[in-house]
């Protein structure tokens, strides 16, 4: 019996050794678009873990369910609930489904590298959006202009304060690529305003509670802070709360277009702020790029969404009446479909 | 016999946390006098109140020999309940919602207690899983938003002041006082300590030990509801992040206050000190302008030092 098993194992090993070697992965694979009328798309994304991620999901749903409905045979959605480890398994799963293209909102810049490269080497066009992956083996990368956003935030403070005064910077998630890029823009922008003193850079982790606590600490030592750069309206809300509680004049603020903040700002009759789109629309633009590519057109390897800046007054005027806090004022979903996603 | 500095200062495992607090305040005051102004001290007391109330609830469970990791989920569900009432039925709905939230807190505690006592599920796991189930139900019910702008009635308890004292701090003090009396000066407290010290011995001595444990979880559930009011009133906006991480923070606050997770002992003063330290250490590292990485290191070192002083004082005493 033992001998039979040994012979079988040797046989299997010999067969494996004699089998033709898999061709090494080509440096530049032929990720040619498959000429079809309808496509099977795999989508791996964060999932609706917060209002921003929900808006990103709505842009995906609008693109595949409505805008490009006629070109879609099937979409496999994989929602990772914000868990990068879970996303690895989900992308592996998508790659077994004979998809024509992969859309990925990576939850880790590094963990996704092998899978993105595997897909690309296998000839599957890969479209990255919302965050980057540390490889160049993808078809197109679509994202917000994070550096430009930070730079604009800094120059707004400089202009608003007349190049004189104190500011504080409250970023989102420590260590995340996009937060660090926004911060790089802020730092370089403020460097051009020698009269502005940046008292500190801290992270509010998109929490109004933590942002309020940190702002209260800054204000305890410096009640004359005239401007607060935040990269998120949830954090800006915590900042305003700290000022209101302390009975201080509200500062100049920067943030994104989350509607909860616009509602609070309107209640406070506050418009000393600018907003830039939060970037959730990147998923919709990524879908546009994907279908451009599948139609045989050339697409940019890197598509950075041109920066749009709106004053508080402008963005408040853009919000349709009765929109909930979870709405994003600068989204790219046509007005007639807004109720479908954000309707009460 | 030589008396150590800790003994001279009457530092024991429960009061070591106050020594660290004092050191932090002195350093912060030297760095920036505004940090130790009475107004900022009251602000920090207000910031710590929700965690403090939650930790006091946790303390009851710890004294009874358990641990409650469902507090965060209960807190968030409580907010969802009363905000649902307010958003849909106005002020009357808010009142009904608050009542329903208290009922929910009691129910969550009851279920935890039953799982631990009747089905002998480890408290760590049973409360972790009930917390997970509560979160899942909330997500199905209200999604990712807990209710948005918090009404003024709730804000009164979390943000507003009576004279100059934040109402949150007043509530925290009252809860602390009640907990002190219950744990140290009541029959209930003595029974709970007996149950936490030796469950079987408590049963043989005629104590309805199972009932005591269930009650401790129910008190903990109500503390989560109270903390939800204070926290949402302080922040002013109920979103998905509110209360995140507070179950573990309450455990940490209890432990750095010198409490023993094995049960049978509990210091309300230690819990108050622990909650204050957990809050003020964030302000301390923010004030000193450490980068985010160093904030983690300094916070960790401060907390380790606190535990070290507590255990050193205990060793010296024994």
Distance CA B255, CA B65 (A): 13
Residues A155 and A271 in one domain: yes
- CA nearest to A281, candidates A341, A330, A239, A220: A330
Residues A177 and A247 in one domain: yes
Point out the domain boundary residue: A276, A299, A322: A276
The ipTM of this complex is 0.85
Q: What is the pLDDT of residues A243-281, one digit of tens each?
A: 999 999 999 999 999 999 999 999 999 999 999 999 999
CA quadruple A86, A87, A90, A96: dihedral, nearest 10? -130
Out of A217, A237, A241, closest to residue B283 by CB: A217
pLDDT at A240: 96
A82 domain residue, yes or no: yes
Q: What is the pLDDT of residues B122-175, one digit of tens each?
A: 999 999 999 999 999 998 998 777 788 899 999 999 999 999 999 999 999 999
Domain ranges, ordered by start, for chain B? 5-317
Domain span including residue A44: 39-145+280-307
Q: In what order do the strands lie in the sheet with A39-45?
A: A72-79, A39-45, A101-104, A126-129, A140-144, A302-305
Q: What is the pLDDT of residues A84-127, one digit of tens each?
A: 899 999 999 999 999 999 999 999 888 999 999 999 999 999 99
What residues contact B88, with CB distance under 8 A and at least 6 apart? none
Question: Taking CB atoms and an 8 Å limit, are A220 and B234 in contact across chains?
Answer: no
pLDDT at B106: 98
A293 domain residue, yes or no: yes
Question: Apex CA A241: angle with CA A236 and CA A242, to 5°?
Answer: 100
- Is B91 an 8 Å CB contact of chain A? no
Out of B32, B231, B244, closest to residue A221 by CB: B32
Distance CA B25, CA B302 (A): 13
pLDDT at A2: 60
pLDDT at A25: 42
Point out the domain boundary residue: A230, A255, A276: A276
Residues A81 and A175 in one domain: no
Residues A268 and A287 in one domain: no
A249 domain residue, yes or no: yes
A135 domain residue, yes or no: yes
Residue bearing the bigger pLDDT, B281 or B215: B215
Chain position carrying tokens 């498959």: A34
What's the burial of A82, exposed, middle or buried (CB within 10 Å: 0-12/13-18/19+)? middle
Residue of B nearest to A209 (CA): B235
A333 domain residue, yes or no: no
Question: Taking CB atoms and an 8 Å limit, are A221 and B289 in contact across chains?
Answer: no
Distance CA B78, CA B96 (A): 12
Residues A133 and A204 in one domain: no
Chain position carrying tokens 């033992």: A2
Residues A218 and A244 in one domain: yes
CATH number for the domain including A74? 3.40.50.2300
pLDDT at B33: 87
A130 domain residue, yes or no: yes
A244 domain residue, yes or no: yes
Q: Which residues of A touch B35 (CB under 8 A)?
A: 217, 220-221
Distance CA A41, CA A99 (A): 5
Chain position carrying tokens 């998630």: A173
Out of A203, A208, A241, closest to residue B239 by CB: A208
pLDDT at A292: 95
Distance CA A205, CA A203 (A): 6
Out of A54, A213, A264, closest to residue B282 by CB: A213
pLDDT at B287: 85
Q: What is the pLDDT of residues B163-172, one digit of tens each?
A: 999 999 999 9
Model confidence at B199, pLDDT cuts 50, 70, 90, reads very high
Q: Which residues of B touch A241 (CB under 8 A)?
A: 235-237
Point out the domain boundary residue: A276, A296, A330: A276
Q: Is the pLDDT of residue B3 over 70?
A: no
Q: Which residues of chain A have pLDDT under 70?
A: 1-35, 344
Question: Taking CB atoms and an 8 Å limit, are B148 and A324 in contact across chains?
Answer: yes
> Residue A147: phi, psi to the nearest 5?
-65, -45
Residues A117 and A196 in one domain: no
Q: What's the domain count of chain A? A: 2
A22 domain residue, yes or no: no
Chain position carrying tokens 């002013």: B236
CB atoms under 10 Å from CB of A120, counted, come to 22
CA distance B143 to chain A (A): 9
Yes or no: is domain B5-317 CATH 1.20.120?
no
Q: Is the pLDDT of residue B280 over 60?
A: yes
pLDDT at B166: 95
- Is B142 an 8 Å CB contact of chain A? no
Q: Which residues of B touch A199 (CB under 8 A)?
A: 289
Q: What is the pLDDT of residues B24-80, one digit of tens each?
A: 999 999 988 888 889 889 999 999 999 999 999 999 999 999 999 999 999 999 999
Q: Is the pLDDT of residue B2 over 60?
A: no
The model's pTM: 0.85
């Amino acid at each position: 019996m033992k001998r039979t098993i040994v012979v079988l194992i040797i046989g299997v090993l010999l067969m494996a050794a004699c089998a033709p070697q898999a061709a090494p992965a080509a440096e530049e694979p032929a990720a040619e678009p498959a000429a079809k009328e309808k496509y099977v798309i795999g989508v791996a994304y964060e999932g609706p873990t917060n209002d921003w991620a929900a808006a990103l999901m709505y842009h995906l749903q609008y693109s595949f369910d409505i805008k490009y409905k006629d070109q879609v045979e099937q979409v496999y959605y994989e929602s990772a609930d914000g868990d990068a480890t879970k996303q690895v398994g989900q992308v592996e799963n998508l790659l077994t489904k004979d998809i024509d293209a992969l859309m990925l909102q990576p939850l880790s810049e590094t963990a996704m590298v092998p899978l993105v490269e595997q897909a690309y080497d296998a000839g599957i066009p890969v479209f990255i959006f919302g965050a980057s992956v540390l490889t160049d083996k993808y078809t197109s990368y679509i994202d917000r202009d994070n550096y430009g956003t930070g730079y604009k935030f800094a120059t707004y403070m400089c202009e608003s304060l007349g190049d004189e005064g104190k500011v504080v910077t409250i970023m989102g998630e420590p260590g995340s690529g996009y937060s660090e890029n926004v911060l790089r823009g802020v730092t370089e922008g403020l460097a051009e305003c020698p009269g502005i003193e940046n008292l500190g850079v801290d992270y509010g982790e998109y929490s109004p509670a933590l942002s309020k606590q940190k702002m209260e600490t800054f204000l305890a030592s410096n009640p004359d802070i005239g401007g607060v750069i935040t990269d998120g309206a949830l954090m800006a809300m915590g900042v305003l709360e700290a000022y209101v509680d302390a009975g201080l004049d509200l500062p100049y603020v920067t943030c994104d277009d989350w509607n909860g903040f616009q509602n609070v700002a309107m209640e406070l009759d506050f418009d000393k702020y600018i907003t830039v789109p939060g970037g959730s629309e990147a998923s919709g633009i990524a879908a546009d790029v994907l279908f451009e590519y599948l139609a045989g057109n050339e697409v940019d390897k890197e598509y950075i969404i041109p920066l749009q800046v709106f004053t508080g007054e402008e963005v408040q005027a853009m919000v349709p009446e009765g929109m909930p806090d979870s709405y994003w004022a600068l989204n790219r979903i046509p007005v007639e479909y807004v109720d479908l996603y954000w309707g009460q | 016999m030589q008396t150590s500095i800790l003994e001279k200062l009457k530092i024991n495992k429960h009061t070591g946390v106050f020594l660290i607090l004092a050191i932090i305040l002195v350093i912060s005051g030297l760095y920036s006098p505004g940090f130790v102004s009475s107004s900022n001290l009251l602000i920090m007391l207000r910031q710590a109140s929700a965690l403090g109330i939650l930790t006091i609830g946790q303390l009851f469970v710890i004294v009874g020999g358990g641990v409650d990791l469902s507090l965060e989920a209960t807190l968030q569900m409580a907010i969802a309940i009363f905000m649902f009432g307010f958003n849909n039925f106005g002020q009357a709905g808010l009142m009904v919602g608050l009542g329903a939230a208290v009922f929910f807190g009691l129910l969550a505690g009851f279920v935890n207690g039953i799982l631990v006592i009747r089905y002998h599920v480890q408290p760590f796991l049973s409360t972790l899983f009930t917390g997970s189930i509560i979160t899942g139900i909330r997500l199905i019910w209200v999604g990712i938003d807990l209710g948005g702008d918090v009404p003024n009635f709730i804000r009164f308890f979390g943000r507003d002041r009576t004279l100059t004292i934040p109402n949150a701090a007043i509530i925290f003090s009252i809860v602390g006082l009640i907990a002190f009396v219950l744990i140290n000066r009541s029959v209930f407290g003595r029974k709970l300590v007996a149950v936490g010290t030796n469950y079987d011995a408590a049963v043989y001595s005629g104590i309805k030990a199972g009932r005591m444990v269930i009650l401790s979880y129910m008190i903990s559930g109500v503390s989560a509801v109270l903390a939800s009011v204070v926290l949402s009133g302080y922040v002013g906006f109920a979103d998905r992040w509110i209360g995140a991480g507070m179950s573990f923070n309450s455990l940490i606050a209890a432990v750095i206050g010198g409490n023993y997770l094995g049960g049978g002992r509990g210091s309300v003063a230690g819990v108050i000190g622990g909650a204050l330290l957990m809050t003020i250490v964030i302000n301390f590292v923010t004030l000193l302008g450490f980068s985010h990485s160093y904030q983690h290191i300094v916070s960790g070192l401060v907390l380790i030092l606190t535990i070290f002083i507590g255990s050193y004082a205990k060793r010296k005493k024994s």
